Structure 1
Amino acid sequence: MTTATDTAALVDRYLAAWNAGDPQARREAVAAAFTEDARYVDPLADVTGHEGLDGLIAGVQEQFAGLTFSCGELLDAHHDVVRFTWHLGPAGAEPVVIGFDVAEIADDGRLRRVHGFLDRVPG
């Protein structure tokens, strides 16, 4: 069972991976947040493993250059599952994208599976 502190720290590591712009720092952040066999799936992507995650994150950073991921209003967990909202936008401004993720936490405290939903996207 995870604690609220563990869960918040894990979500922070997850968002740090999405925000890491330097390729080496991004790979390290991906390894810190995700298991080696992690799967990430949302309406636009379905990738597995650190290499797949790294490539996906690099592509999102290119598409949304200059924008930052931050934690949204919801963070909840029980057993080995966490759900949380996130925002993508300019620092201190209205988010351009808002999403909702549900993730499975592995025994080692990293994410094994992430199921992402896009609640608001640019027109």
Structure 2
Amino acid sequence: MAGSDSRNTDEVENYDALLRANLQRVFNQRDAQRRLAAVQELFADAPTMYEPAGIVTGQAAISAVAGALLDQFGPDFAFVAEGTAVGHHGLGYLRWHAGPGDGPVIVSGVDVAEISEGKIVRLWVLLDAPQG
């Protein structure tokens, strides 16, 4: 059919595996070298991350931001995926919450990612409004 693209890019992209790996291997990884290696594997060469507090560009900067978050919240703090990530046509999202292993949820939100060729190109971190 003229003008239509019959390729199914979603067969190539595994949104759930990629976004869960980002949460676990980047944002829960306390070892800086392992975290950077994961960023290099999961993100495009020149990624951008959009956070409420600003815009972060580059693999090393994204790794550093993840490390600073973990340092800020302490050794028990972890991000936990909620449900299965979904996506299509290069856009995926994964809901998550975070807090100490034995304690209350401190923050929750959604990661929304632009994905190309199996790598995160741009990542938006959207935080839920505080409860209460």
Question: Normalising by the residue count of structure 1, what TM-score does the alignment of the two structures yield?
Answer: 0.87
1:81-96 alignment runs, 5 A limit: 81-91=91-101, 93-96=103-106
Please point out which of 48, 51, 54 is paired with 2:63: 54
Question: What is residue 101 of structure 1 aligned with on the other side?
Answer: 111
Partners of 2:125 and 2:33 in 1: how far apart? 25
Question: What is residue 85 of structure 2 aligned with on the other side?
Answer: 75
Distance apart, 1:92 and its partner CA: 5.8
1:1-123 alignment runs, 5 A limit: 1-3=9-11, 6-15=14-23, 16-65=25-74, 66-73=76-83, 75-91=85-101, 93-107=103-117, 109-120=118-129
| Structure-2 change in CA distance of 1:31 and 1:122 (3 Å) | farther
Partners of 1:118 and 1:105 in 2: how far apart? 20
Distance apart, 1:94 and its partner CA: 3.6
Over 3 Å off, 4+ runs? 120-123
Question: Normalising by the residue count of structure 2, what TM-score does the alignment of the two structures yield?
Answer: 0.81
The answer to whether the 8 A contact 2:16-2:94 is kept is no
Larger Rg: 2
Query: How many residues align structurally?
Result: 122
The answer to whether the 8 A contact 2:26-2:38 is kept is yes
| Structure-2 change in CA distance of 1:74 and 1:8 (3 Å) | closer
Indicate the RMSD between aligned Cα atoms, in angstroms. 2.3
Question: What is residue 3 of structure 2 aligned with on the other side?
Answer: none
Distance apart, 1:88 and its partner CA: 0.9
Is the partner of 2:49 in helix, strand or coil? strand
Identical counterparts, % of pairs: 29
Partners of 2:49 and 2:13 in 1: how far apart? 23
